[in-house]
Amino acid sequence: MSKSLQSLSLQTVFGRARLALALALALPAAIVGLKPAASQPSPMVGLWIDHTGRGAVEITSCGASLCGHIAWLKEPNQPNGKPLVDKKGRPVCGLQIIGEVKKKNDGSWDDGWIYDPDEDEQFSVELKMKPDGNLQVLGYLGVKMLGETFVWTRAPATQARCQKG
């Protein structure tokens, strides 16, 4: 093999080796770039005044789902002065009333549940942000068209909270 051909072969080998090394170094960076960025919290996360104005629900991320707990009640006590309880005897302040709500491709969150402590009933729930920044809460049993839709408003930062007792 001539010296120039041998030199060309070595340049090709080294060139390919450098290319392979560059790809080996770039591939993990590319793979990291393909991973979803640290997920942004849902705009639904936060404190919401319910449609009645009698309570506020804190919606939080619970793994890949959303959940919600009663965080404030306008009237947190029964007439006898004891804390308000649901029909199962559980304190309403702090009670989880939303769970397992999962993100859908259309931006809504669905396939979870919502609990009505006044009636001791659980329903399926869908949550959607409205263009005005309010939260649309659809409670339903099986068929969304037959469900009931409520609108919750974001609570002010100064919103009172349940007393930890």
Cβ(152)–Cβ(137) below 8 Å: yes
- Beta-bridge partner residues of 57: 48, 70
What mean pLDDT comes out for the span 5-18?
A: 43
pLDDT in tens, 60-98: 999 999 999 999 999 999 999 999 999 999 999 999 999
Cα dist. 160→46, 57, 73, 84 in Å? 14, 12, 9, 17
What is the C-alpha to C-alpha distance for residues 33 and 27, in angstroms, rounded to an integer? 10
Is the pLDDT confidence value at 146 over 60? yes
Q: pLDDT averaged over the chain?
A: 81
Cβ(120)–Cβ(88) below 8 Å: yes
122 confidence band (pLDDT: 50, 70, 90): very high
Is the pLDDT confidence value at 9 over 60? no
Query: In the structure encoding, which two tokens stand for residue 53, read together?
Result: 């104005």
Q: Which CATH number fits domain 46-154: 3.80.30.20, 3.30.70.20, 3.40.50.300, 2.40.128.520?
A: 2.40.128.520
CB contact set of 54 (below 8 Å; sequence gap of 6+) = 73, 74, 75
42 confidence band (pLDDT: 50, 70, 90): confident
Q: Could you state, in order of their start, the residue ranges of all structural domains in the chain?
A: 1-35, 46-154
